[in-house]
Amino acid sequence: MPTPQGAVTVSIRAASLNHLDVWLVSGAQRVEPPRVLAADGAGVVAESGDSSWRPGDEVVIYPVACCWRCEQCRAGRQVFCPQFGILGEHTDGTACEFFQVPAQNLYRRPEGLTWDEAAAFPLTFLTAWRMIVTRARLQPGETMLVVGAGAGVAAAAIAIGRQLGARVLATSRSQAKRERVLELGAEAAFDSSGFSKPVREASQGGVDVVFEHVGPATLDESIRSIRKGGRIVFCGSTSGVRAEVNMPRLFFGQADLLGSTMGNAGEFEQVLEAIGRGLRPIVDSTFALDEATSALERLERAEQFGKVVLRP
Ligand SMILES: [Zn+2]
């Protein structure tokens, strides 16, 4: 397919899956088939319709679909674009050999990252970065609890929290994953059931920030885990869409509930700078593109720790 003006064709070297892809395949998240999966990708420019990129340039892809022309996009608030979406969900994705994308979606591949790592960080690190830095404004020395720490976005949160100089606590249902998060720099990891009591003890009365993506199954315990004036920031609700909230705990606790999805291009640039300072994604496993079904099964069974990568 010829490359249109303003677009770039990237020869994909690695793509990575997110839990979103499992929902797309299962039909839990409805899209009109056929659809190429995956939001995350890195590769080499094959053909360019824009003067800012040349064939041979090594790039990573900002995983947001947006118009790049509206007032919000031009002001750097891509998450508020009326056409905001995620690559692989609202458009075809990166799990392919050649991927065409607007030139503005491309950034130079960070030095020091393998192709697998370059494809592993975009969606989860962008999402976690906006949640922690922009929305919850986590400060050095503060304590953050990361709930459901086995998920890709949660592993990113632990790495970002540690780099920002925060204390990080975590929860997971899996003993093996609780051990892994300690290796990532979490100070302590608790079982997912009834975690607020040990969390309050470990944080001398409650954490400053809870990083949430689980929702109804953990929200009450998350609210019990914050100190007065604490913040709960969430990007998802994997355990269901409706939750019951104990209102007095929120208002007597002066609590902030903060929603967040993906991130702006400027936040993606901040992630790239943090990678320059040593921030690294975790690659769980690598599959050939034609083994994508096995890769998705690994995600569906929640066996992974870190990102599942596909190689064309
Ligand atoms: Zn726009």
CA distance 51 to 29: 37
Alpha carbon of 70 to ligand 1 centroid (Å): 4
Q: Enumerate helices (H) and strands (E) in the chain, giving the number of each.
A: 11, 15
Ligand 1 centroid to residue 62 C-alpha, Å: 14
CA of 12 to the centre of ligand 1 (A): 25
DSSP 262: S
pTM of the model: 0.97
Residue 151 Cα to ligand 1 middle (Å): 29
pLDDT tens for 60-108 read 999 999 999 999 999 999 999 999 999 999 999 999 999 999 999 999 9
CA of 117 to the centre of ligand 1 (A): 29
Please give the pLDDT value at position 102. 97
Q: How far apart are the CA of 216 and the centre of ligand 1, in A?
A: 32
Which residues is 58 bridged to in the sheet?
Answer: 44
Q: Where do you find CATH 3.90.180.10 in the chain? A: 7-121+281-311, 124-259
Statement: 124-259 belongs to CATH 3.90.180.10: yes
CA of 65 to the centre of ligand 1 (A): 9
Least confident interval from 2-11, 27-36, 261-270 = 27-36
CA of 74 to the centre of ligand 1 (A): 7
Output the pLDDT for position 4: 94
CATH for 7-121+281-311, options being 3.40.190.10, 3.30.930.10, 2.40.10.230, 3.90.180.10: 3.90.180.10
Find the 222 Cα to ligand 1 centroid distance in Å. 34
Give 68 Cα–ligand 1 centroid separation in angstroms. 5
For residue 280, which phi and psi values (nearest 5 degrees)?
-135, 140
Model pLDDT, residue 215:
94
126 CA to middle of ligand 1, Å? 18
pLDDT of residue 293: 94
CB neighbour list of residue 73: distance below 8 Å, 6 or more residues apart? 66, 67, 81
Question: Among the listed ranges 58-67, 122-131, 231-240, which one has the minimum average pLDDT value?
Answer: 231-240
| Span from the CA of 80 to the centroid of ligand 1 (angstroms) | 7
Residue 128: name the closest of 279, 263, 17, 255 by CA.
Answer: 263
What is the DSSP secondary structure assignment for residue 134, as one 8-state letter? I
- A 10 A CB-CB count for 187 gives 15
Q: What are the tens digits of pLDDT across the range 175-217?
A: 999 999 999 999 999 999 999 999 999 999 999 999 999 999 9
> What is the residue-wise DSSP string for 264-289?
-HHHHHHHHHHHHTT----EEEEEEG
Q: How far is CA 51 from CA 9, 54, 103, 215, 256, in A?
A: 13, 7, 9, 44, 44
Tell me the CA–centroid distance for residue 15 and ligand 1, in Å.
Answer: 25
CB 240 within 8 A of CB 214: no
Expressed in angstroms and rounded, the spacing between residue 76 Cα and the centre of ligand 1 is 9
Question: How far does residue 206's CA lie from ligand 1's centre (Å)?
Answer: 39
**pLDDT at residue 162 greater than cutoff 80:** yes
